[in-house]
């Protein structure tokens, strides 16, 4: 690893060696820190308990992620702007004007901008705060030019009315001052629309106005009845083709009868469906008399505007009237500049004649000339945001100091979850459950869906439990979540990542598993017995239905020999159980007390030891990194949550000593506790007894083997003595 040029200070935090940021110089030299030493390489901009505006300032490329290069660039910029970079460690929201680095060109400009802000606000003081820069509209209020390329009525008294008209037509744009103004593009679009509208109006000739000034109204009147009139003439042609068809195409009297008993004035829609007039073989359309009542008003307009001297028309006359509108309809279709039509032709012509477009664009250029100064004023707000928040951000990015500080909370800690008589402060907002990644953390995690009807909000959290037990936790369980602002949400467990929570929980886990298994077996046996009973009852009922007496059905299913065997087996089992208890009592009495204690402890260690050891190893390796990685972070170093630290994140319920206790409740508690201990002691004693019996068997086997060896040795000794005597006698005879 390359040796850093800057003299960094390091400390062990959360199971990893991390750099300490304790001065402005440290922040200024972040660019020299080896990236392998950064705790975080990337984090999201949203979903954190941090000022999002500050995060967006750091996120220079606005991609929604803050990476190391952006943090370094921000650190170098802010430490260059400030006269004393150590001011960042204070986390203050106010900066003295002398706090800007006047020796730096940008710093000097920002100092002037800060003074300008105070001047615009009418404040006479030697420092500027976030409260002063919070409202842009207030800062730029009443300023005719402020560098955003938007001019308002305040920009020119002479052109104020025209600017208002342009804004009304184009929709306008909001100026930095908060006023509605217009941009250069909107000015160009407005004048183009005026020119198009004026040209379109001038293109209208007298030939295109067959009815003079009433042409538009006449066309509207004709088009309102055109479809109905066309239908009328087709009906007439059918009658001309076949007189017998008149009944089918004329008004149906039966339909009129159907509605005649009702209020016909309310049936205009139904009546309008009838022909506009009664069809006839001549194909003549009446314009006044004989018109369908529902269409009389519309036909009256047609007669007044198009056929004032006629009482009826033929199809040819009607088509000729329609053709007369051809040129006018072409002119209407070519309409342009409709945006400015509301101003009126005279006003549009007056605007074009005044030709003040160039003057407006000059005002735009004058406004843009102040862009750098206006941007500098906005940059002062960025400086103050970083002054307050940047050091805190670094303590959640370069190092996770805030997470391991008992008096602070990390920016990813979203609030507190209350569930199952405990609360946990390690809650993170997540997009959704991701148990595959989070399981690598070794943590017990509850994924919860949080909703608030009052606030109209909903989101998901991952809540990490670091103390207590998990007997009462399951998917679907309800809880309450409080965010950092104190707002409450209904939380529902949607998924669980199961891992050890504590060594204490691991100690009892084998016994709980056995108890759960026994309980499941009992439930299963009871269910099977119930099913058999129901089947027997059903069979008896069916037998009765088949003609057998109920007694006969029951009698046929009773086997006395079978039940005698069952009773004998039960008696034998009870006898064996009694013998075992007696033998157990004798064996325990024969064992010394301290040996019995050691045996019990040994058995408990054999049963619970492996689970406790595994839990201990996992608890020491609990890592927050995978949980953060599943939430869009890129964590570069271990972030361990050891048991001691974990107890500070999860708070268990603590009840005070009770002075007045309900006797009945106390009796039940004592009885339950007594039988619990009896069962535990019986299990342990049974294990001890079995162990002792095995030991006795081994010792007896060894003693038997030793005795057999001794007997064999005694049997072999006389034979050897006789052999020796025989040898001696043979030797003596040979010598003689």
Q: Tell me the pLDDT band of 479, cut-offs 50, 70 and 90.
A: very high
- pLDDT, greater one: 632 or 608: 632
Q: Which of 431, 423, 422, 447 is nearest to 498 (CA)?
A: 447
Between CA 279 and CA 238 the distance in angstroms is: 9
| pLDDT tens-digit series, residues 573-584 | 666 666 666 665
| pLDDT tens-digit series, residues 240-257 | 888 878 778 887 777 777
pTM of the model: 0.66
Q: Tell me the pLDDT band of 128, cut-offs 50, 70 and 90.
A: very high
Do the beta carbons of residue 400 and residue 14 sit within 8 Å? yes
pLDDT at 704 over 60: yes
Q: How many CB atoms lie within 10 A of CB 222?
A: 20
Q: Tell me the pLDDT band of 621, cut-offs 50, 70 and 90.
A: confident
Kindly state the tokens that stand for 373: 């100064």
- pLDDT, greater one: 257 or 360: 360
Average pLDDT of the residues in 671-688: 70
Residue with tokens 């070794």: 442
pLDDT at residue 705, as a whole number: 76
Residue with tokens 């459950």: 433
| pLDDT tens-digit series, residues 375-392 | 888 899 999 999 999 999
Q: Tell me the pLDDT band of 268, cut-offs 50, 70 and 90.
A: confident
Q: Tell me the pLDDT band of 675, cut-offs 50, 70 and 90.
A: confident
The fraction of the chain above a pLDDT of 70, given in percent, is 78
Residue 707 CB-density burial (10 A; 0-12 exposed, 13-18 middle, 19+ buried): exposed
Do the beta carbons of residue 73 and residue 65 sit within 8 Å? no
Instruction: Provide the total of helices (H) and of strands (E) in the chain, helices listed first.
Output: 27, 19
Kindly state the tokens that stand for 564: 């005698």
| pLDDT tens-digit series, residues 447-473 | 999 999 999 999 999 999 988 887 788
pLDDT at residue 556, as a whole number: 47
The fraction of the chain above a pLDDT of 90, given in percent, is 43
Average pLDDT of the residues in 581-593: 60
Between CA 466 and CA 646 the distance in angstroms is: 5
Between CA 567 and CA 551 the distance in angstroms is: 23
Residue 277 pairs with which residues in a beta bridge?
A: 291
pLDDT at residue 100, as a whole number: 96
Between CA 92 and CA 95 the distance in angstroms is: 8
- pLDDT, greater one: 177 or 25: 25
pLDDT at residue 476, as a whole number: 92
Kindly state the tokens that stand for 14: 């959360």
3-state secondary structure of 461: strand
Identify the weakest region by mean pLDDT among 4-13, 30-39, 389-398, 501-510.
Answer: 501-510
Between CA 255 and CA 270 the distance in angstroms is: 9
pLDDT at residue 203, as a whole number: 87
Kindly state the tokens that stand for 696: 């006795």
pLDDT at residue 736, as a whole number: 46
Contacts of 600 (CB under 8 A, 6+ apart): 684, 685, 688
Between CA 228 and CA 231 the distance in angstroms is: 5
Q: How far is CA 35 from the centre of its chain?
A: 31
Q: Which of 463, 452, 510, 509 is nearest to 485 (CA)?
A: 452
Between CA 134 and CA 139 the distance in angstroms is: 9
Q: Is the dihedral of CA 10, 11, 12, 18 positive or negative?
A: negative
HSE-CB for 135 with a 13 A CA cutoff: 11
pLDDT at residue 26, as a whole number: 94
Between CA 363 and CA 621 the distance in angstroms is: 67
Between CA 479 and CA 365 the distance in angstroms is: 60
Between CA 464 and CA 639 the distance in angstroms is: 14
3-state secondary structure of 253: helix
Domain range list for the chain:
9-141+370-403, 153-203+342-368, 206-333
Average pLDDT of the residues in 333-348: 92
């Amino acid at each position: 690893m390359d040796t850093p040029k800057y003299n960094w200070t390091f400390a062990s935090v959360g199971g990893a060696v991390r750099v300490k940021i304790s001065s402005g110089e440290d922040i200024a030299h972040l660019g020299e820190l080896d990236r392998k030493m950064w705790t975080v390489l990337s984090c999201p901009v949203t979903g954190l308990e941090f000022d999002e505006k500050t995060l967006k300032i750091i996120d220079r490329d606005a991609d929604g992620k803050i990476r190391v290069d952006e943090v370094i660039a921000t650190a170098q910029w802010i430490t260059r702007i400030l006269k004393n970079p150590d001011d960042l460690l204070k986390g203050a929201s106010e900066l003295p004007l002398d706090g800007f680095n006047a020796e730096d060109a940008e710093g000097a400009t920002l100092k002037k901008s800060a003074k300008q802000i105070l001047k615009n606000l009418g404040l006479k003081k030697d420092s500027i705060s976030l409260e002063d820069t919070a409202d842009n509209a207030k800062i730029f209020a009443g300023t005719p030019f402020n560098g955003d390329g938007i001019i308002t009525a305040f920009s020119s008294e002479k052109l104020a009315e025209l600017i208002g008209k342009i804004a009304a037509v184009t929709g306008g744009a909001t100026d930095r001052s908060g006023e509605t103004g217009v941009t250069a593009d909107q000015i160009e679009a407005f004048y183009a629309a005026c020119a198009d509208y004026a040209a379109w109006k001038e293109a209208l000739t007298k030939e295109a106005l067959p009815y003079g000034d009433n042409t538009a109204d006449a066309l509207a009147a004709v088009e309102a009845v055109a479809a109905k009139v066309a239908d009328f003439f087709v009906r007439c042609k059918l009658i001309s083709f076949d007189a017998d068809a008149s009944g089918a195409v004329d008004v149906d009297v039966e339909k009129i009868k159907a509605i005649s008993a009702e209020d016909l004035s309310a049936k205009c829609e139904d009546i309008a469906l009838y022909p506009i007039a009664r069809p006839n073989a001549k194909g003549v359309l009446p314009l006044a008399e004989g018109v369908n009542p529902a269409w009389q008003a519309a036909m009256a307009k047609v007669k007044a505007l198009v056929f004032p001297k006629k009482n009826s028309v033929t199809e040819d006359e009607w088509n000729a009237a329609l053709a007369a509108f051809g040129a006018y309809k072409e002119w209407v279709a070519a309409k342009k500049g409709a945006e400015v039509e509301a101003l009126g032709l005279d006003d549009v012509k007056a605007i074009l004649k005044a030709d003040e477009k160039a003057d407006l664009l000059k005002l735009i250029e004058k406004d843009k000339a102040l862009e750098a100064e206006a941007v500098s004023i906005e940059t002062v707000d960025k400086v103050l945001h970083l002054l307050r928040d940047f050091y805190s951000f670094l303590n959640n990015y370069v190092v996770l100091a805030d997470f391991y500080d008992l008096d602070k909370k990390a920016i990813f800690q979203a609030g507190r979850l209350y569930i199952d008589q405990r609360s946990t402060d390690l809650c993170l907002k997540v997009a959704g459950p991701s148990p595959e990644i989070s399981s690598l953390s070794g943590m017990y995690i509850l994924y919860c869906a949080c909703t608030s009807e009052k606030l109209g909000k909903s989101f998901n959290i991952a809540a990490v439990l670091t103390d207590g037990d998990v007997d009462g936790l399951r998917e679907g369980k309800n809880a309450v979540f409080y965010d950092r602002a104190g707002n409450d949400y209904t939380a529902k467990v949607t998924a669980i990542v199961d891992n050890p929570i504590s060594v204490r929980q691991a100690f009892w886990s084998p016994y709980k598993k056995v108890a759960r298994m026994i309980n499941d077996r009992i439930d299963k046996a009871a269910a099977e017995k119930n099913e058999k009973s129901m089947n027997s009852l059903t069979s008896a009922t069916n037998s009765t239905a088949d003609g057998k007496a109920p007694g006969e059905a029951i009698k046929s299913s009773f086997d006395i020999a079978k039940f005698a065997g069952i009773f004998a087996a039960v008696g034998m089992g009870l006898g064996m159980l009694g013998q075992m208890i007696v033998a157990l009592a004798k064996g325990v009495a024969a064992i010394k007390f301290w040996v019995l204690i050691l045996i019990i402890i040994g058995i408990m260690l054999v049963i619970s030891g492996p689970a406790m050891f595994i839990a201990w190893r996992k608890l020491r390796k609990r890592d927050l990194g995978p949980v953060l990685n599943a939430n869009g972070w890129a964590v570069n170093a271990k972030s361990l949550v050891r048991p001691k630290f974990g107890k500070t994140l999860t708070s268990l319920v603590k009840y005070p000593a009770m002075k007045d206790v309900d006797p009945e409740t106390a009796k039940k508690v004592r009885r339950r506790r007594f039988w619990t201990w009896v069962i535990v002691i019986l299990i342990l004693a049974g294990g001890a007894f079995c162990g002792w019996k095995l030991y006795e068997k081994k010792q007896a086997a060894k003693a038997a083997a030793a005795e057999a060896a001794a007997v064999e040795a005694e049997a072999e000794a006389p034979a050897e003595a006789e052999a020796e005597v025989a040898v001696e006698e043979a030797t003596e005879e040979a010598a003689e």
